[in-house]
Amino acid sequence: MTVSPRNYDESGNHIQADGVQFTYDTMTNLPVPVATQPSIYTGTGTPTFSAVKGSLYLNLTGSSTATRLFINNGTTAWVAVTTAS
């Protein structure tokens, strides 16, 4: 990607280059995932919310090999991943 001064704008936590806008987390300075990309979530209990297919969920209160990690296989369908102890 070629960035020229006339089409480059950095304001707040947004950078626009060649007409494409990137958003960055202001604390970590890492790019915020595009809505179509999988993400990693954390929480307590079994996930029931909607997420992008391939997203991961770490259950902070999971106490067995089948309740610690979940992967989304579409919308609100989460599948437990068996982990080592």
Residue 24 and residue 49 share a domain: no
| Domain that includes residue 26, residue range | 1-32
Mean pLDDT by 10 residues, the chain (85 residues): 44 57 66 72 92 91 95 92 89
Sign of the torsion formed by the C-alpha atoms of 47, 49, 50 and 56 = negative
Q: Could you give the CA distance from residue 16 to residue 34 in angstroms, rounded to a whole number?
A: 15
Residue 77 and residue 44 share a domain: yes
Residue 76 and residue 47 share a domain: yes
Residue 59 and residue 77 share a domain: yes
- Between the alpha carbon of residue 4 and those of residues 31, 32, 58, the distances in Å are 21, 23, 41
Residue 24 and residue 4 share a domain: yes
Structure tokens at 38: 């999988």
Q: Could you give the CA distance from residue 49 to residue 5 in angstroms, rounded to a whole number?
A: 42
pLDDT value, residue 64:
94
Residue 27 and residue 4 share a domain: yes
pLDDT value, residue 39:
83
pLDDT value, residue 15:
59
- 49-73 pLDDT, tens digit each: 998 889 999 999 999 999 999 999 9
For the chain, what is the domain count? 2
Q: Considering the entire predicted model, what is its pTM?
A: 0.60
Residue 77 and residue 45 share a domain: yes
